[in-house]
Amino acid sequence: MDGQELMQKSQSNICSTYTRYNLAITRGSGCYLWGQDGREYLDLVAGIAVCNLGHCPPDLSRILHEQAQQLVHVSNLYYTEPQVRLAESLTQVSFADKAFFCNSGAEANEAAIKLARKYSRERYGSGRYTIITMKDSFHGRTLATLSATGQEKVQIGFEPLVEGFRYVEFNRPESVADAIDETTCAVLVEPIQGEGGVRVPDPDYLAGLRQLCTKHDLLLIYDEIQVGMGRTGKLFAHQHEGVAPDVMTLAKALANGIPIGTMLATNQAAEAFSPGSHATTFGGTPLVTAVANEVLHQISDDSFLDGVRGVGEYFRGQLQALQEKYAFISEVRGRGLILGMELDFPGSEIVLKCQEHGVLINCTAEKVLRFLPPLIVTQKEVDRLVETLDIIFAAV
Ligand SMILES: *Cc1c(COP(=O)(O)O)cnc(C)c1O
């Protein structure tokens, strides 16, 4: 099929839940993608913070291939070594004692929401089920996670929402304090808001939430689905502040594009789940966990993370130089290799122009250009983006 035919058949055969760009992609390698027409693109989207080690890294493809020939799936009625190894590694590199495996970010958050309710019910009885979440947050598209999401646009049309969520201002511990009442069981927060426009809270924000949660015995849940797995230059974003949660969710980059989600928890929190509490058929298959083991091994390496911080600082500096040149750039923000550039007009046209120049970027919260390159991106590739933006901005 040529690109045109693909697009037509997509429109006639696939639910139209996405606005897609006019681009069909056939192949990827490292930070580059190739279109149906053979054209090369520099990819600074990475499948929305998923392909952190780039596209089709040969060592991951080899592991995937070998595991596919050995064992793909047996269900969680049995033990498999890749799954156990992944759980052991995740608990070694994090605050957590236990892992639950599933297949996506929304599912990981569903598990966290269920765990928080059960934890609180077992200790305090019914009536203590409200989870405080943040305005402009994003936690997924299932009914419970869109109810947890503090954005009306993902909720409209799907009412009645799941009960028991209360939204407060992000980056304001005092607004969480005001919202806590006898029904509260947990606080759910992204350490950096991704979809909300790359919003980095003040350095003492998580510590403020930690204090409140400990005082009231609420579970502090971090959604690190987008900002975890090395994206910010630490393995997990909250490690910049050194404030541990009780529960954390991961997904996107954990297996570099093979679908996986996980909920990590302390023993104290995890004890609320017992056999039969929660389950999913595909959770933690040998296929996906074999790949995730290698991803975690590579990303948790200190020199790899140093590299992310280094190129991230360079990237940010180059974006700030553009900001000095163009008055319509109102802010540059982010950490490591999740960077946002807020414009004072909608960013969609800029995204399209970049694509014409062979560079893929993304736009979120309408006016925020978001850069989520593979973490293996080099300064040279950053320069190419910045030169492209400079040409486009000069013509605005
Ligand atoms: C992408 C994302 C989700 C949802 O993950 P899915 O795999 O799409 O269900 C949840 N939270 C955050 C912060 C995300 O970025």
Please list, in sequence order, all residues whose beta carbon lies within 8 angstroms of the beta carbon of residue 8, skipping any fewer than 6 positions away: none
- Ligand 1 nearest-atom number relative to CA 107: 9
Q: How far is the CA of 220 from the centre of ligand 1 (A)?
A: 18
Give the model's pLDDT for residue 272: 98
pLDDT at 42: 98
Residue 11: its pLDDT value, please?
A: 94
Gap between the Cα atoms of 79 and 286, Å rounded = 10
199 lines ligand 1 (CB under 6 A): no
User: Are 306 and 229 members of one domain?
Assistant: no
- Give the nearest ligand 1 atom to 141 CA: 9
Q: What is the pLDDT of residue 197?
A: 97
Ligand 1 contact via 228 beta carbon (within 6 Å): no
pLDDT of residue 284: 98
User: Can you tell me which atom of ligand 1 is nearest the CA of 259?
Assistant: 7
Residue ranges of the chain whose pLDDT lies below 50: none
- For residue 311, the model assigns a pLDDT of 98
Find the 282 Cα to ligand 1 centroid distance in Å: 18
Q: What is the CATH number of the domain that holds 293?
A: 3.40.640.10
In sequence order, what are the beta bridge partners of 188?
221
Span 46-69, pLDDT tens digits:
999 999 999 999 999 999 999 999
Q: In terms of domains, do 249 and 154 share one?
A: yes
Same domain assignment for residues 239 and 326: no
Distance 328 CA to ligand 1 centre (A): 30
- Is 183 part of any domain? yes
- Give, using CA atoms, the residue closest to atom 11 of ligand 1: 139
- DSSP collapsed to 3 states, the chain: CCHHHHHHHHHHHCCCCCCCCCCCEEEEEECEEEECCCCEEEECCHHHHCCCCCECCHHHHHHHHHHHHHCCCCCCCCCCHHHHHHHHHHHHHCCCCEEEEECCHHHHHHHHHHHHHHHHHHHHCCCCCEEEEEECCCCCCCHHHHHHCECHHHCCCCCCCCCCEEEECCCCHHHHHHHCCCCEEEEEECCCECCCCCECCCCCHHHHHHHHHHHHCCEEEEECCCCCCCCCCCCCHHHHCCCCCCEEEECHHHHECECCEEEEECHHHHCCCCCCCCCCCCCCCHHHHHHHHHHHHHHCCHHHHHHHHHHHHHHHHHHHHHHHHCCCEEEEEEECCEEEEEECCCCHHHHHHHHHCCEECEEECCCEEEECCCCCCCHHHHHHHHHHHHHHHHCC
**For residue 391, is it within any domain?**
no
In terms of domains, do 219 and 325 share one? Answer: no
The answer to whether residues 125 and 231 belong to one domain is yes
Q: Give domain status of residue 377, yes or no.
A: no
Last residue of a domain, one of 310, 331, 352: 331
State whether 248 and 160 are in the same domain.
yes
Q: What is the pLDDT of residue 32?
A: 98
Q: Is 2 contained in some domain?
A: no
Instruction: Give pTM, 2 decimals.
Output: 0.98
To test the pocket of ligand 1, the residue of 189, 225, 232 to mutate (highest count of ligand atoms within 8 Å of its CB) is: 225
* Among candidate residues 243, 277, 299, the one where a domain is terminated: 299
Q: Are residues 68 and 129 in the same domain?
A: yes
- 84 within domain boundaries: yes
Q: Are 94 and 243 in contact (CB under 8 A)?
A: no
Q: Is residue 226 one of the residues assigned to a domain?
A: yes
71 and 96 housed in the same domain? yes
**Ligand 1 contact, 105 CB (< 6 A):** yes
Boundary residue ending a domain (331, 346, 372): 331
Please indicate, yes or no, if residue 201 is contained in any of the structural domains: yes
**Which of 137, 189, 222, 252 to probe ligand 1 with, by most ligand atoms within 8 A of CB?**
252
Q: Whole domain around residue 170: which residue ranges?
A: 59-299
Which has the closest alpha carbon to 224: 184, 254, 255? 254
Q: Check if 191 has its Cβ closer than 6 Å to any atom of ligand 1.
A: no
User: Quick one: 74 and 203 in the same domain?
Assistant: yes
- In the reported structure, the alpha carbon of residue 70 is separated from the centroid of ligand 1 by a whole-number distance in angstroms of 30
Cα 181 to middle of ligand 1, angstroms: 28
Residue at 283 is within a domain: yes
Q: What is the best residue among 45, 103, 137, 138 to mutate for testing ligand 1's pocket, by most ligand atoms within 8 Å of CB?
A: 138
Q: In this predicted structure, what is the pLDDT of residue 2? A: 87
Q: pLDDT digit string (tens) for 290-301?
A: 999 999 999 999
Cβ–ligand 1 contact at 376 (below 6 Å): no
The values of phi and psi at residue 58, to 5°, are: -55, -40
pLDDT value for 3:
87
Q: How many domains does the chain have?
A: 2
Task: Please check whether residues 147 and 221 belong to one and the same domain.
Answer: yes
64 lines ligand 1 (CB under 6 A): no
How far lies 300's CA from each of 50, 52, 121, 228, in Å?
16, 12, 36, 11
For a mutational test of ligand 1's pocket, the pick from 52, 226, 249, i.e. the residue with the most ligand atoms closer than 8 A to its C-beta, is 226
167 and 308 co-located in one domain: no
140 within ligand 1 shell (Cβ under 6 A): yes
C-alpha of residue 150 to centroid of ligand 1, in Å: 13
CA of 38 to the centre of ligand 1 (A): 31
**Residue 130 shares a structural domain with residue 209:** yes
